[in-house]
């Protein structure tokens, strides 16, 4: 096994999910530009997340269908012919 390949400068960092405001603290080596005052009154580096396990549809069970510029409709129309052929073969 290779020696000295893992970082040694682990410190406590707060990760905040910006979509729902939930924050959690863990040890990390990630660089942060901002800080936040945590529940214990101390300042910690802050990493802002777009999505975490508290807001991801897979973990929450709330599947959100985001349709940007008709992508879903475009997909359905593209494969509708294939689905029609498959249904006719099953009957």
In a domain, 6, yes or no: no
Pick the closest to residue 52 from 17, 28, 25 (CA basis): 17
In a domain, 1, yes or no: no
In a domain, 44, yes or no: yes
Structure tokens at 10: 């682990």
In a domain, 48, yes or no: yes
- What is the value of pTM for the model shown? 0.60
In a domain, 5, yes or no: no
**What mean pLDDT is predicted for residues 29-34?**
93
CA distances from 16 to 25, 37, 45 (A): 9, 12, 11
Q: Answer whether residue 20 shows pLDDT above 80.
A: yes
What is residue 60's predicted lDDT score, i.e. its pLDDT? 67
Strands 43-49 and 11-17: parallel
Other Cβ atoms within 10 Å of 21 Cβ, number: 9
How many domains does the structure of the chain reveal?
Answer: 1
Domain that holds residue 55: 11-90
Q: How confident is the model at residue 43 (pLDDT cuts 50, 70, 90)?
A: very high
In a domain, 83, yes or no: yes
């Amino acid at each position: 096994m290779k020696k000295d390949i893992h970082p040694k400068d682990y410190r406590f960092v707060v990760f905040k999910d910006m979509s729902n405001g939930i924050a959690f603290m863990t040890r990390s080596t990630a660089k942060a530009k901002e800080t936040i005052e945590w529940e214990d009154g101390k300042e910690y580096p802050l990493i802002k997340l777009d999505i975490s396990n508290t807001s991801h549809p897979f973990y929450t069970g709330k599947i959100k269908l985001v349709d940007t510029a008709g992508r879903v409709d475009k997909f359905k129309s593209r494969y509708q012919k294939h689905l029609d052929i498959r249904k006719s073969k099953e009957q």
